[in-house]
Structure 1
């Protein structure tokens, strides 16, 4: 998720420390696992990383932003994914883009399941999550609008964005109950379930 940014300052214990977004995320998730999200303060995260509290704000605007990682870069990558699928029909391109967006390496750190469980199951993060979901849906709405010649605020782009998010969240809900399943297969299954439902409705 971007090039690490190195700092030459020393930790609170006197050790040289390399500070970057990933190091802060890993330290924060260790504390979240031990103390819970609510029980973990920014001061505690700063101590765990070995930097001052003010340094954290160079990387994340708030504690609520840490579980989302470098979300700005993630959305930029999502736009690129969709642009690479311009040759496909819109529905196929959006589904494949969402599928690829959710293709994370099994050795991701923090583990993707831990990240998503925190985001989806922490009540105090829900309001913040609404903002992030809105940004994610906007990427799809903008893409669909470009493909159809309309505006992102039109009904069709907005609907595709909302439905895509609902399908992804449905897949995550099932996956977090049993992470031995394939998340990508669940994303496909969610789409298949929607198509089957629509076929029943129109029959």
Structure 2
């Protein structure tokens, strides 16, 4: 007979909450799952969930600030002699590289994010941070302000590349994500190639 648990409840992690929520969202639909449902399935109080995430919408994004820091680090570590288009392509591919064992989970997460109408406005706020990192890199490389039209246009273009690649990857599971990203980038690569040469 199992012994009753004594002492404090096992602590949770943001990753655990995200994993539990993702399973619920994928099975029942984002709209059909409440914050209370996620908290209960994760074995935590609603109040505890809100210590980790400000809203239900935020749960799927996990620690996106850490991901943005990783993207910034990838771009900061690019040799200045590497042409801008190659730097952007390389960073895009590296940023979106995951262990093979994470592919199913990542596909599930991106399907919920990209195919749930209720998440689109929130996603735009998250994409703004991603675009800011991209625009900052381009501005630095070209010696212009981050807010200038050129780095902003490149950042929006890179977001379009990533989103179109993800949509293709979700619709055709035979295509590896790096291939989808590389193919999407190559559509605009020639235009980006001319920016700093």
Structures share a fold, TM > 0.5?
yes
> What runs of 5+ residues in structure 2 fail to find an aligned partner?
1-6, 193-197
* Distance apart, 1:107 and its partner CA: 1.8
Structure 2 counterpart of 1:191, from 159, 165, 185 = 185
Q: Does 1:44 align with 2:37?
A: yes
- Alignment of 1:147 with 2:131, yes or no, is no
Unaligned 5+ residue runs, structure 1?
1-7, 11-16, 199-203
Residues 160-199 of structure 1: pairs in structure 2 closer than 5 A: 160-195=154-189
Please, what is the CA RMSD of the aligned residues?
1.8
More helix by share: 2
Q: Does residue 31 of structure 2 align to residue 77 of structure 1?
A: no
CA deviation map 1:26-78 (0-9, x unaligned): 11112112221111111111111111100011111100001111101000000
Work out the CA distance in 1 between the residues paired with 2:189 and 2:12. 47
Structure 2 vs 1, CA of residues 67 and 169 (structure 1 numbering), >3 Å: closer, same or farther? same
Report if the CA contact (8 A) 1:25-1:110 is conserved. no
Give the structure-1-normalised TM-score.
Answer: 0.85
CA contact (8 A) 1:90 1:144 kept: yes
TM-score, with structure 2 as normaliser: 0.88
Count of aligned residue pairs for this structure pair:
185
Query: Does the C-alpha gap of structure 1 residues 117 and 184 become closer, same or farther in structure 2, counting only changes over 3 Å?
Result: same
Of residues 118-127 and 181-190 in structure 1, the stretch that sits farther from structure 2 once superposed is 181-190
CA–CA distance in structure 2, aligned partners of residues 177 and 120 of structure 1: 12
CA distance in 1, matches of 2:155, 2:78: 16
Residue number in structure 1 paired with 2:23: 30
Residue aligning to 2:3: none
Choose between structure 1 and 2 for higher RCO, CA contacts under 8 A separated by at least 6 residues: 2
Q: Is the deviation greater in 76-85 or in 88-97?
A: 88-97
Counterpart CA distance in 1 for 2:48 and 2:191 is 50
